[in-house]
Amino acid sequence: MSSKYISKIAYAAVVCLFLLTASSAVADDSKISPDLLPLLSNPTNTVNVVVQYNTAPPQQPQTCSGGGGLLGIVGGLLCTVINILNSVVFGLINAVAGTMHAGDVITLSNQSDVNYISLDRPLNASLDYTTEAADVPIAWNSGLNGAGVGIAVIDSGIYSHPDLRNAWGQSRVVYRKSFVSGGVQFDDYGHGTHVAGILAGNGRSSSMPGSSHILKGIAPNANLLDLRVLDKNGASTDSAVIAAIQQAVQLKSKYNVRVINLSLGRPIYESCNRDPLCRAVEAAWANGIVVVTAAGNLGRNGYATILSPANSPHAITVGCMKTLSTYPRTDDLIASYSSKGPTYIDLTAKPDLVAPGNLVVSLLAPGSTLAAQYPANLVMPAYYTTSTNAGPAQYFRLSGTSMATPVVSATAALMLQKDPSLSPDTVKARLMKTATKSFPAYSSTTDPVTGTIYTSTYDIFTVGAGYLDTYAALSSKDVAQKSAASPSFLYNSSTQLASLMMSTNVVWGSNVVWGSNVVWGSTVLLNGTNVVWGSNVVWGSNVVWGSNVVWGSNVVWGSTSAYGEN
């Protein structure tokens, strides 16, 4: 729906009919869109419509006198006041959009001042607000949808959801294997199915007469490989994840696996050079596969809360933004729970960028643990359609860096569909360089239960190189001739400043194209390379470096945020 409107009002259309007209219950088909007509069989059905007038629509509600209620006699005419709920007036096209009863649509179609009535169709199909915030619809309009690209989903499994089938009804989950004891092939946790929907859901279950939202993933024609490593409680082991990564590498040629999505993690216990998870990630990267990882949901504990394998310098590590349930990007803020860098032990600059991931509507795995634990997160059909025959809930709402990660993974798939020759380093470098770098200095949120206020500073350890911009990344022509490994930091206790360590083997800072100010933006750097923060903020003794306060014993691999809108 266009944002160029004159005003939002509680709108009432006044319909005047001759008293003796008996044809008022018959629609004027010439004024009603073909996809709206089938929804008018039951006059009590509610439909979302756009009513276009021949002249400017009335700007104020009107009433009729006489007869009582909503009916009255005016100059020999029977006047009916039709209430249009949730209305928006579009003066630009002389129209009103809103919700009304089907019978009222029929009545309106017989009015001489009404030009045309149509379903209020979404201009660009989107997965709630997530795709709009990442500028994805522009890519769709260019014909990019992930077709032919394989994405390995290393998670809790993928439910056989209708939204993951192609136009012929065949599943786009082209391979399945479980690395969990017991060998269950379905998703009994619910996390992996949700991730899969963000990656490649095509919106089939929400595409029906009366739909107001088409709940579509970022790369709706991509193929998925279901490599199950999380059990019904969201727990796993290093060995299971490593085995799954290895399997993805082995299947690269057969299924054109170009991206691995890792919306999971665990605490860091050693340098990434020794961490087996990091090494597996880097092996996949060396084999030409882009690996995208979740930063973690521990940001409320402060800095140095990045998980493994997100601490891999090669992996694309993703933090979480919240869209505030609006389409424009300009009001989006960092989620308070999004884990912050630098990484424990190696002091690597992470996350690499941030993407929308808060309150994301995606696919539901019926009967799963998450569905049972959070029944309020079920998205009922009334959210996306006025149809009364939509069936049971097919969608679910979750928050976390786990949800932001597949947004970036799917964007990488679009990039590789457009240009299959791209290396993982070029994909990462383009994503980071083109990310939006305009942020407020800080933002705060209050926990509704505890009343605790959490303040986030928009620095390199919070937002990385910026906010994902899919269209800008797809438009980039820059090529990374060297590694795009994330740089590390060296802290100078005398000056209380930290400096980016730029190796000659990496692309960052090597020229004008990949200079640090270009990639990370001048707002997070001081004098080009020195970071603004003092020792008490990031580097001081108050920072929790891998202690039980941060990691605890209850951290699970596929955890999602419990902080809701915060």
Encode pLDDT of 142-191 as tens digits.
789 999 999 999 999 999 999 999 888 899 999 999 988 876 678 999 99
Which has more confidence, 281 or 214? Answer: 281
User: Which of the 8 DSSP states describes residue 394?
Assistant: -
Encode pLDDT of 363-388 as tens digits.
999 999 999 988 988 988 888 877 77
Q: Among the options 178, 205, 339, 402, which is catalytic? A: 402
Encode pLDDT of 94-117 as tens digits.
777 678 888 888 888 888 888 888
Q: Among the options 120, 155, 231, 425, which is catalytic? A: 155
Q: How confident is the model at residue 128 (pLDDT cuts 50, 70, 90)?
A: very low
Q: Provide the mean pLDDT of the chain.
A: 77
What share of the chain has pLDDT > 70, as a percent? 71
d(CA 179, CA 185): 9
pLDDT of residue 24: 47
pLDDT of residue 408: 97
pLDDT of residue 513: 52
pLDDT of residue 93: 53
pTM given for the model: 0.71
d(CA 218, CA 216): 7
Per the DSSP assignment, residues forming a β-bridge with 454 are 445
Q: How confident is the model at residue 538 (pLDDT cuts 50, 70, 90)?
A: very low
Tell me how many degrees the CA angle 471-201-1 measures, rounded to the nearest 5: 60
**What's the distance, Cα to Cα, between the start and end of the chain in Å?**
27
Please provide residue 438's backbone torsions phi and psi, each rounded to the nearest 5 degrees. -100, 115
Encode pLDDT of 465-478 as tens digits.
899 999 999 999 98
Kindly tell me if the per-residue pLDDT of 229 is higher than 70: yes
Asked if 402 is an active-site residue, the reply is yes
Q: How confident is the model at residue 441 (pLDDT cuts 50, 70, 90)?
A: confident
- Note whether 96 and 51 are within 8 A (CB): yes
Encode pLDDT of 240-287 as tens digits.
888 899 999 999 999 999 999 999 988 888 888 888 888 889 999 999
- Note whether 259 and 415 are within 8 A (CB): no
Domain borders along the chain are: 11-119, 130-484
How many other CB atoms are there within 10 angstroms of residue 77's CB atom?
15
Encode pLDDT of 391-423 as tens digits.
788 899 998 899 999 999 999 999 999 999 999
Q: How confident is the model at residue 546 (pLDDT cuts 50, 70, 90)?
A: very low
- Note whether 116 and 31 are within 8 A (CB): yes
Q: Which fold has domain 130-484?
A: Rossmann fold (3.40.50)
DSSP 81-134: EEEEEEEEEEGGGTEEEEEEEHHHHHHHHT-TTEEEEEE---SS--STTHHHHT
pLDDT of residue 515: 54
Asked if 205 is an active-site residue, the reply is no
Question: Would you call 504 exposed, middle or buried from its count of C-beta atoms within 10 A (0-12, 13-18, 19+)?
Answer: exposed
Q: Among the options 101, 161, 191, 194, which is catalytic? A: 191
pLDDT of residue 183: 61
Encode pLDDT of 482-510 as tens digits.
888 998 887 766 766 667 776 677 776 55
pLDDT of residue 489: 81
Asked if 469 is an active-site residue, the reply is no
d(CA 468, CA 183): 36
Residues in the chain: 566
Q: Average of pLDDT values for 429-452?
A: 87
Encode pLDDT of 33-63 as tens digits.
766 888 888 888 888 777 878 887 755 323 2
Kindly tell me if the per-residue pLDDT of 215 is higher than 50: yes
User: What is the distance, to the nearest Å, from the Cα of residue 96 to the centroid of all Cα atoms in its chain?
Assistant: 29
pLDDT of residue 193: 96
Q: How confident is the model at residue 480 (pLDDT cuts 50, 70, 90)?
A: confident
Task: List the beta strands (DSSP E) in 193-339.
Answer: 223-228, 257-262, 290-294, 316-322, 333-334
Which has more confidence, 448 or 184? Answer: 448
Q: Which helix (H) or strand (E) holds 18?
A: strand 11-18
d(CA 184, CA 180): 7
Task: List the beta strands (DSSP E) in 459-501.
Answer: 488-492, 497-501
| From 67-76, 188-197, 443-452, the region with the lowest mean pLDDT | 67-76
